[in-house]
Chain A
Amino acid sequence: MKKLSMLSVLMAVFTLLFSQTSLAACGEIVIGSAISLTGKYATNGVHAQKGYEYAISKIKENGGVKIDGKCYNFKVIYYDDESKGDRAATLAERLISQDKVQYMLGPYSSGMTKAIAPVTEKYQIPMVEAEGASRSLFNKGYKYIFAVLSTSEQYLASTIGLAASVAEKNGKSPSSVKVAIAVENDPFSLDIRAGVLDDAEKFGMQIIIDEKLPRDLSDMSAILTKVKLLKPDLLVVSGHSKGAATAVRQISEQNVKVPLIAMTHCEATDVTGKFGDAANDIVCPTQWAETMSYEDPIFGTAANYESGFKKAYPEYKGRQVPYQTAQASAAVYVFKDAFERAGSMDKEKVRDALSATEMQTFYGNIKFSEAGNNIAKPMALRQIQDGRYNVVAPAEFASHELNWPRK
């Protein structure tokens, strides 16, 4: 075994050397990214990395980035941040000061983005990030961070609205709705919790369970027992991929009956593929759905993006392309657009072009606020109906009716 790994190490070294000597017809724009390839965020870190790579190859196919009549291709230097904030910050610094990277693509998760943002800000390196949704990223006055995605308090806030309207429809007041919250103890999920708490308070809803999931979660039966006893009307779960997998599995095993269950990271975990019918009628917030009616000249429509991506990465066949991938691709596209409008490689000009971004992509409309978050794109809620992800809210995107109560 050791010999084998030595051999592979050698091979890895060789491929690395060769890949660097290959020449491209166009010039190169080097972007840096520290992303989680190992550790607890690795599942989604890899989704995001594939999104970046797919967009780069698509842009290359379409003639590259044209700056001042010359063509360029993107090349990303990746490092593995091991899902650790201190590592991410160090790597960002290394990318900037040693690899002389002038532009950055974001890491995966709010926690990592939070760790990197002070560094890019200090070095005045424009960073387009696609995976850090925490609100706390956008109230620090950062000027060099641009997020293509909607902020995290919006993920499940609309679920509260949905629960309220269902209650009203059934002749009950929204304040009678009882909410159970189980979120992971990490910056992203805690932010989701904050958003849910805020919205629940607006309707006067009662929070009857409010628990934090440990990070190495593989068993949440203790919470589900309480859910069975206290019978909430809405159960909110957020815990990246392992949280979603554990929750779906145990909710069906323990036969937990909650009329409305909302959960993040359904597609990224592929809950329908893994658990089949057990995942039915769960509501999942999504940044993007392939049924949405957006399009752009590079990727085509949202549906084109999905099929193209599956062709390039056959391992996604038969499952949902996670929105984490789509938004990563969108981030690269935003960079391309900004470079072309800036007409220059100067990072300050690129930053200014980024902040003036106003475009439609397959992923949605993108326009950045002063703080750098995308304000032109709503979140959608999808419900898993017979193994398919159907958009049920907000009204303008809804293709299907909400199944309520969940069986």
Chain B
Amino acid sequence: MNRNKTILYSLILAFTIVAPFAFPNFGTQLATLWLMIIVAITWDMTGGQMGYNSLGNIFFYGTGMYVAALITIGLTYDVGDYTSAAGGGIYEFTDLEYFGGMALGILGAGLFCSACAIVIGWLTFGLRGPYFAIGTLGVAIAAGELVSNWEWVGGGQGIALPVYPGDFDTGKTYFYFLFAAVGIGAFLFARWLYGTRFGSAINAIRDDEEKADAMGIHTLRYKLYTWAMAAFFVGMAGGISAFQLIHFEPLETAYQTINLGIFMVVCVLLGGKGTLWGPVVGAILFHLFKEVTWNYLLGWQWVALGALIVVTVVYFQDGVMGWLVHKKPEWFGIRVEKKVASGSK
């Protein structure tokens, strides 16, 4: 069993490394795939494992973009001047300023988003069920609207970051590996986390928060830490996206609530909620479906996507992993008589 796993993991790792070179034309799509995987895994940390279904995780993505961009710009130039030129003035960045700024920016984005998660979580974790989902969605929408009216950060114009210095194809591979690194980090972190006492505690919160509380689990603290960890990865992913996209603006790109913000939930449901591999599998399937329909069903792509969401949610709720666990429990090291306990609900 263990050896099989090692082989599986090394195969995936090998594919990850080889992919951008084997399919050089799909560099950006592969990078976006990693982005989807990151946001799906982190959404599942609160949504699947802890039972808190947030619709506002996109807040961390958008905030991460802005924080990373502002740190990079602010280290070299005056932010107000830079944004009021709307990408108009010629602002040069040396390699050191670009890569140094990027490193600090992405890290800063992650940390800042964690801090945001603590504050927002402290305010909203008292909400339950649909109210938590709607409340967090509200935070994300409000943030987008406020940022789009904030001229110092460019308002509705958005921010244009400097272009990757050097060859474009190298740039593509570079961003791919940045995303992949964060994605692998998020996956390994989640894998480790779910095996610890902490993981059991958040599962207990999902199963019955009152009982968990009564058993002496400081539930609020656990909820805040979990969300902060998720926010850290999403914030970093947002930071990388900012550099990869070069130009971004608040409502459609950064705080894209009804796009990526909800797609990440669909990914998790598609793959299987509350499982380690579910979000990864779901993100891959969703991304594939989206790219294929956008290519071959022009005009009908949104209809197809809507139908996919409806069908997944209505008829296929346990997701791919839930289905697999149900059909092939032995793959997961579960003996058949334990089947009831292994249901994904």
Does A touch B (CB under 8 Å) in the complex? yes
A37–B299 CB distance below 8 A: yes
A400 in the interface (beta carbon within 8 A): no
Chain A proximity of B334: nearest CB distance (Å): 36
CA distance A13 to B239 in the complex (A): 38
A185 in the interface (beta carbon within 8 A): yes
For B163, list chain A residues within 8 Å (CB).
118, 122
A86–B245 CB distance below 8 A: yes
Within 8 A of A (CB), among B245-294: 245-249, 251-253, 256, 259, 294
Given contacts A38-B302, A86-B253, contact A190 B88 (CB under 8 A): no
Residue of A nearest to B145 (CB): A214
Binding site for A on B (CB under 8 A): 24-29, 32, 85-90, 145, 148-149, 155-158, 160, 163, 168, 171, 241, 245-249, 251-253, 256, 259, 294-304, 307
A90–B28 CB distance below 8 A: yes
Residue of B nearest to A5 (CB): B303
CA distance A186 to B157 in the complex (A): 6
Q: CB within 8 A of B88: which of A2, A16, A98, A135?
A: A135
A210-251 interface code vs B (CB 8 A; 1 in, 0 out): 001011000000000000000000000000000000000000
Nearest 9 CB-CB pairs, A to B? A185-B156, A122-B168, A97-B25, A136-B88, A84-B252, A86-B253, A98-B25, A118-B246, A136-B86
A85–B157 CB distance below 8 A: no
B299–A190 CB distance below 8 A: no
The count of residues in chain A whose C-beta lies closer than 8 Å to any C-beta of chain B is 42
Given contacts A13-B296, A86-B253, contact A140 B90 (CB under 8 A): yes
Q: CB within 8 A of B294: which of A5, A80, A111?
A: A80
CA distance A85 to B302 in the complex (A): 17
CA distance A85 to B259 in the complex (A): 13
CA distance A78 to B294 in the complex (A): 11
A187 in the interface (beta carbon within 8 A): yes
CA distance A98 to B292 in the complex (A): 13
A48-89 interface code vs B (CB 8 A; 1 in, 0 out): 000000000000000000000000000000111001111001
CA distance A123 to B168 in the complex (A): 7
A141 in the interface (beta carbon within 8 A): yes
B247–A12 CB distance below 8 A: no
For B295, list chain A residues within 8 Å (CB).
79
Beyond A90-B29, A115-B247, list 18 extra A-B contacts (CB 8 Å).
A5-B303, A12-B297, A79-B294, A84-B259, A85-B158, A86-B245, A97-B26, A97-B27, A98-B25, A98-B26, A114-B160, A136-B86, A139-B90, A185-B156, A186-B156, A186-B249, A187-B86, A214-B145
CA distance A96 to B218 in the complex (A): 54
| Dominant SS among interface residues on chain A | helix
For B88, list chain A residues within 8 Å (CB).
135-136, 139
B168–A212 CB distance below 8 A: no
B300–A118 CB distance below 8 A: no
For A94, list chain B residues within 8 Å (CB).
28-29
Residue of A nearest to B260 (CB): A86
For A13, list chain B residues within 8 Å (CB).
296-297
Q: CB within 8 A of B246: which of A8, A79, A89, A184?
A: A89
Chain B proximity of A114: nearest CB distance (Å): 5
CA distance A78 to B86 in the complex (A): 29
Q: CB within 8 A of B245: which of A5, A89, A136, A141?
A: A89
CA distance A330 to B297 in the complex (A): 29
Given contacts A84-B252, A90-B28, A140-B87, contact A115 B157 (CB under 8 A): no
For B157, list chain A residues within 8 Å (CB).
186-187, 190
A370 in the interface (beta carbon within 8 A): no
Given contacts A85-B248, A114-B87, contact A190 B155 (CB under 8 A): yes
- What are 22 A-B pairs with beta-carbon distances under 8 A? A2-B307, A9-B303, A12-B297, A37-B299, A80-B294, A80-B301, A83-B252, A86-B241, A89-B246, A90-B28, A115-B246, A118-B163, A122-B163, A135-B88, A136-B87, A140-B87, A140-B90, A141-B90, A187-B86, A187-B157, A190-B157, A214-B145
